[in-house]
Structure 1
Amino acid sequence: MKRPAFISARTTTLAVAAFAVAALTTGTLTGCSPAASGDPASSSASGRIDVVASTDVWGDVAKQVGGDKVDVTSIIDDPDKDPHEYQASGQNQLALSKAEIVVVNGGGYDDFVDEMLSALRTKPVVLNAADVSGYDQHPSDGEFNEHLWYDFRTVDKVAQHLATAYAKARPADRSTFEANAKRFEASVSALQDTEAQLKRQYAGKGVAITEPVPLYMLNAIGLVNKTPEKFSEAIENDTDVAASVLQQTLDLFSSRSVALLAYNDQTSGVQTQKVVDAAKANDIPVVPVAETLPAGKTYLTWMHANLDAIGAALGKAAS
């Protein structure tokens, strides 16, 4: 069974929701600032659309499409924190209570938002990236990969749905939202072109991962994940890896069966460190990936950087 994403948030959500709803009823949260980033408290006066995103990844996409017509609050926006250990708060609930539109990843990644929304009297429009993707979220041949922001096709679809939702909320600004979405989609298309170029050069190369975070991107480039499924499954579920499975994974590097290692640098442990060390010891390039925006990056500049790093690693392996 897959580790529930945001496990700490799930275990605290009901208590938080009860506190927040009571506080909103009595007015005791009136002086609280909104969670994470953005300022939804000012949106009513400005006429901007209040948007809340579960993470700053989707928050940035929402901002790119909405421009100065939206105020975006991202609940999780700290690149130094493991999103799976996020603690929901009353401020998150307050932000959601003011939202007109909420963007979630879905697919089990951020269920704590759904739980908080269920405690609200208001009912914002909710855009769920997993639902928008069209992927089977309960595949019979494995686990659903919920890290959808590495799938440019899905990101493009979410941008289109955001433009439609914004236009419905503010019909007078429809042309602005459509133009913003068109520019964003052109940039996403450029990222897909880079994937296609890398695929032409490196399709079929083996790669290793610690978790399935970047698999949509690696698959789009035509790379083959050689990691034992039981290894990445155990790491994602935060359980111990069997010694034999760990050895199989380490052998990928000593035998030089893979061109690179992509690892989630927001989660760490003894076993993942052994894998990173083995890659470095055998001169296999190591490419860090993440689940939230790195400091100073937008979604687009971040994804460009990821593709540049993968391209450089593949080029080194081929030299």
Structure 2
Amino acid sequence: MVNNSHGRRRLGTALLGGAVALTLAACSGGGSGAGGTTAAASGSAGAGGGTVKVVAATNVWGDVVEQIGGDHVEVTSIITDPSADPHSFQSSPRNQLALSSAQLIVQNGGGYDDFMQTMISSAGSQAPVVTAVDASGVTPQDGELNEHVWYDLPGTIKVADAIAAQLATIDPANASTYRANSATFDTAVNGLITQAQAINAAHDGAPVAITEPVPVYLLESAGLSNVTPAEFSEAIENETDVPAAVMNQTLALFADKQVKLLAYNEQTTGPQTEQVLEAAKTNGIPTVPVTETLPDGQDYLSWMKSNIQALSQALGG
């Protein structure tokens, strides 16, 4: 599973030259807490026909907010570029300004986007915060937390419901709309869960390989078994060299046809991941690319549907 220090390194270190140095004249006070949600800000933010201003750490959670809030929300997603490596992050004055006026903040948590706490504090924001890891209810396995909770379909339903509850508190005039949109979203995600379960029924326990733990929750929903050496995926995720013995063990998964597919993070490539990808292709093992941010032209639901379909196709239906 994922080493939490990885998340802090990935999305936190580049911040030092960005948002930390930014100062807004109107900023004062402390930041919001890091729990599942903090207490809602006072007043009705949506009163007078205005929209609720929401800042999301990534466009994944930003899209979920838009599906719940519809025309009643104005969302700024900090990480949006589908071609960018989310392991390297640079803040901007625009993002910091958005946080200073945000009425709701949605972060991932679990060490993935620790830069958010620094930015929230720097902006002096007192807005309520939904932390996806906490709201999803995921727990560490073998002492490690996989923070990529947007690939956990049941957990995403819980996050969407937490967002709807916060929006309803901030903007009670449109509470019924938020709840209805959340119910619609939940139904759609449950449909995705059913599709994943169909893979489980046809390929229960099928061994698969990964480059990083990004899609593990989805693989587990589909009943697939990740047999990649933990030392390999941890080294790739932490951007350290894979020990030679571990690399050989990983490559043997493909040479010996021990796995049915390779799910790889196409946003973070390097010599060792490329070597594994080439080994899969050379040995006729299907490859399934996954990403950490929302691809262009897709929303959360269509994105997860395409991921599930790609898994099914790679396994032969």
Do these two structures clear the TM 0.5 threshold for a shared fold by scoring above it? yes
Does the C-alpha gap of structure 1 residues 253 and 236 become closer, same or farther in structure 2, counting only changes over 3 Å? same
- Cα distance, 1:254 vs structure 2: 1.0
Structure 2: distance between partners of 1:13 and 1:179: 37
User: How far apart, CA to CA, are the structure 2 residues paired with 1:9 and 1:191?
Assistant: 29
Shift of 1:306: 0.2
AA of the residue aligned to 1:246: M
CA offset at residue 119 of structure 1? 2.1
**Contact persistence 1:6–1:86 (CA under 8 A):** no
CA distance in 2, matches of 1:22, 1:160: 33
**Larger RCO (CA under 8 A, 6+ residues apart):** 2
Distance 1:8 1:105 in 2: 13
Q: CA deviation at 1:135?
A: 2.5
Q: Distance in 2 between matches of 1:280 and 1:182?
A: 41
Q: Does the CA-based 8 Å contact 2:254-2:280 persist in structure 1?
A: yes
- Residue 179 of structure 2 corresponds to residue 183 of structure 1: no
> Residues 27-176 of structure 1: matches in 2 within 5 Å?
47-137=50-140, 139=141, 141-176=142-177
Q: Output the CA distance in 1 between the equivalents of 2:240 and 2:17.
A: 27
1:11, CA displacement in angstroms?
A: 3.1
SS at match of 2:180: helix
Taking a change above 3 Å as real, the CA distance of residues 221 and 48 of structure 1, as seen in their structure-2 partners, is: same
Q: C-alpha offsets along residues 96-148 of structure 1, whole Å, 9 cap, x if unaligned?
A: 011000001100000101111122333011000111122235x5x24210000
Cα pair 1:14 1:115 within 8 Å, conserved? no
Give, as a single letter, the amino acid of the residue that structure 2 aligns with 1:131.
D
- The DSSP-based 3-state class of the residue aligned with 2:130 is strand
Task: Report if aligned partners of 2:15, 2:89 keep a CA contact under 8 Å in 1.
Answer: no
Shift of 1:230: 0.4
C-alpha separation in 2, matches of 1:57 and 1:87: 18
Q: Give the gaps of 5 or more residues in structure 2.
A: 28-45
**C-alpha distance in 2 between matches for 1:220 and 1:89:** 37
Deviation at 1:86, TM superposition (A): 1.0
User: For residue 129 of structure 2, what is the amino acid of its counterpart?
Assistant: V
- Asked if 2 retains the 8 angstrom alpha-carbon contact of 1:106 and 1:146, the reply is yes
Q: How many residues align?
A: 298
Structure 1 pair 88–264 and aligned structure 2 pair: CA distance change class (3 A):
same
More helix by share: 1
Deviation at 1:45, TM superposition (A): 8.0
What is the 5 A alignment of 1:265-280? 265-280=266-281
Q: Which residue of 2 aligns with 1:11?
A: 13
1:211 aligned partner: 212
For residues 186-239 of structure 1, the C-alpha deviation after alignment (integer angstroms, 9 at most, x for no partner) is 100100000111101001110000000000010111111110110001000000
Aligned-pair distance for 1:2? 5.0
Give the conservation status (yes or no) of the 8 Å contact 2:207–2:226: yes
5+ residue gaps, structure 1, are: 26-42
Contact 1:24 1:94 in 2 (8 A): no
Q: Which amino acid aligns with 2:228?
A: T
1:20 Cα deviation after fit: 2.7
Three-state SS of the structure 1 residue aligned to 2:97 is helix
Aligned to 2:307: 306
Offset at residue 17 of structure 1 (A): 4.0
Q: TM-score, normalised by structure 2?
A: 0.89
Deviation for aligned residue 1:89 = 2.0
What's the TM-score once normalised by structure 1's chain length? 0.89
How far 1:178 moved relative to its partner?
1.0
Give 1:244 deviation, angstroms.
Answer: 0.9
2:239 alignment partner, SS class: coil
Q: What is the CA–CA distance in structure 2 between the aligned matches of 1:104 and 1:60, rounded to whole Å?
A: 13
Change (3 A) 1:12 1:267: closer
Name 1:242's counterpart in structure 2: 243
User: How far apart in 2 are the matches of 1:90 and 1:4?
Assistant: 26
Quote how far apart the aligned CAs of 1:82 are: 0.8
Separation (CA, whole Å) in 2 of partners of 1:216 and 1:296 = 23
Does the CA-based 8 Å contact 1:50-1:98 persist in structure 2? yes
- Aligned-residue sequence identity (percent) comes to 49
In structure 1, what is the Cα distance between the partners aligned to 2:295 and 2:17?
31
State how far apart, in whole Å, the 1-side matches of 2:216 and 2:267 are: 16
Contact 2:7 2:110 (8 Å CA) reproduced: no
Q: Is the 8 A contact 2:264 2:288 kept in 1?
A: yes
**How far apart, in 2, do the equivalents of 1:45 and 1:94 lie?**
22
Letter in structure 2 aligned against 1:309:
A
Partner AA of 2:81 in structure 1 = D
Which stretch shifts more, 82-91 or 239-248?
Answer: 82-91
Partner of 2:42: none
| Aligned-CA RMSD value | 1.9
Change (3 A) 1:14 1:251: closer
